[in-house]
Copies of this chain bind each other. A is one copy, B any other.
Amino acid sequence: MMTQTRRHRPASPKQASTCCGPIDDLLNPELFKALCDPTRAKLLGCLAKCGRACSVSEVAECCSVDFSVVSRHLQLLERAGILVSSREGRTVSYAVKYGHLCQALRGLADALEQCCPADQAAECAGGCCAKR
Given the known inter-chain contacts A35-B29, A112-B96, A129-B129, please indicate yes or no for A4 contacting B106, CB distance below 8 A: no
Check A12–B58 contact: CB distance below 8 A. Answer: yes
Check B13–A62 contact: CB distance below 8 A. Answer: yes
Partner of A126, one of B16, B43, B103, B113: B103
Partner of A46, one of B17, B33, B128: B17
Residue A116 interfacial (CB < 8 Å) = yes
Check A105–B102 contact: CB distance below 8 A. Answer: no
Q: Indicate the member of A46, A108, A120 with the most B CB atoms within 10 Å.
A: A46
Number of interface residues of A (CB under 8 A): 65
- Note all chain B residues with C-beta closer than 8 A to A124: 98-99, 102
Check A9–B109 contact: CB distance below 8 A. Answer: no
Residue A127 interfacial (CB < 8 Å) = yes
Could you list which residues of chain A lie within 8 angstroms of chain B, going by C-beta atoms?
4, 9-17, 19, 21, 23-24, 27-29, 32-33, 35-38, 41-52, 54, 58-59, 61-63, 96, 98-99, 101-103, 105-109, 112-113, 115-117, 120, 123-129
Q: Name 4 extra pairs, CB < 8 A, besides A21-B49, A98-B120, A106-B109.
A: A16-B45, A29-B35, A48-B112, A52-B117
